[in-house]
Structure formats: C-alpha cells, structure tokens
Amino acid sequence: MACEIDHVGIAVCSLDESLRFYQETLGMPVSGREIVEAEQVAVAMLPAGSGPGASRIELLEATGESSRIAKFVEKRGPGLHHIALRVDDLAAAVERLQNSGAKLLNEPRRGAGGHIYVFVHPSSTGGVLLELIQK
C-alpha cells in the first residue's frame, strides 16, 4: 500500500485566531475554507508545499458542542488531532485493516474537500489517530 502524507489535522479553538498565526506569522496561504455539517466542524486548509499534491495543514474548529473536535479540545486542549495519509485504493486498505483486526471509527464517507475517508482508532496505530483518504 503506497501512502503519502495528505495533511496534519490540528484542533483549534478559533479558526480566525489560528489563521492569524499561520498566515501572518508563517506566511502560509489558505487554499480553502468550508463547514462540514456532518462532522460539525469548520475547516481551513493551508498548503505546506507547492504543487497539486502538496501536503497541507488542516485547522479544525468545532461548530457544535457534540462535535468530536469540541470533545477533543475540551478533554485535551487544542493541538495535533490526526495525521491523514492518501492511499491509492481506500477500499483495499479498509479490507486489509479489517482483516488485521484494526479498529475503524467509521465507514468510508465524504468529508472536507469532497474526499472519501476513514479514520483508524489510535489503539490500532500505536497511539495516533490516523485518517486514510482515497487518492
């Protein structure tokens, strides 16, 4: 299974405050902002390289109290939430994960940017929440 880092997800209390740091201090552009209603999250994507396949930083702000991001920030505070990897064949990756006994947190579904993704529980990955995204 070939993997590439797609993005690093960072939970934040405020997109606007966080964007001031990333844009003004680091000089990173925002490639897109959107709200993913199903996840109750506002997202801002910042390319961390050049070219169409560049890795990105994904800032995540909860839009509702029952959002996973709201619960994460309440329990742990803002910070690194997950690492996302692009895979050539998400269905095959999911099958391999299930056959190996890995714990998946959702069925493949559409998320920010229209990508199809699945999350793998940290207990199956050595302590890191991992998101796999169909290339």
pTM, entire model: 0.93
For 25, list phi and psi in degrees, rounded to 5. -85, -45
Residues 6+ apart with CB under 8 A from 71: none
Domains of the chain (ranges, CATH numbers): 3-134 (3.10.180.10)
What tens digit of pLDDT does each residue of 99-124 get?
999 999 999 999 888 899 999 999 99
CA dihedral in degrees (121, 135, 30, 47; nearest 10)? 90
What tens digit of pLDDT does each residue of 23-70 get?
999 999 999 999 999 899 999 999 998 888 889 999 999 999 999 999
Burial (Cβ within 10 Å: 0-12, 13-18, ≥19) of residue 105: middle
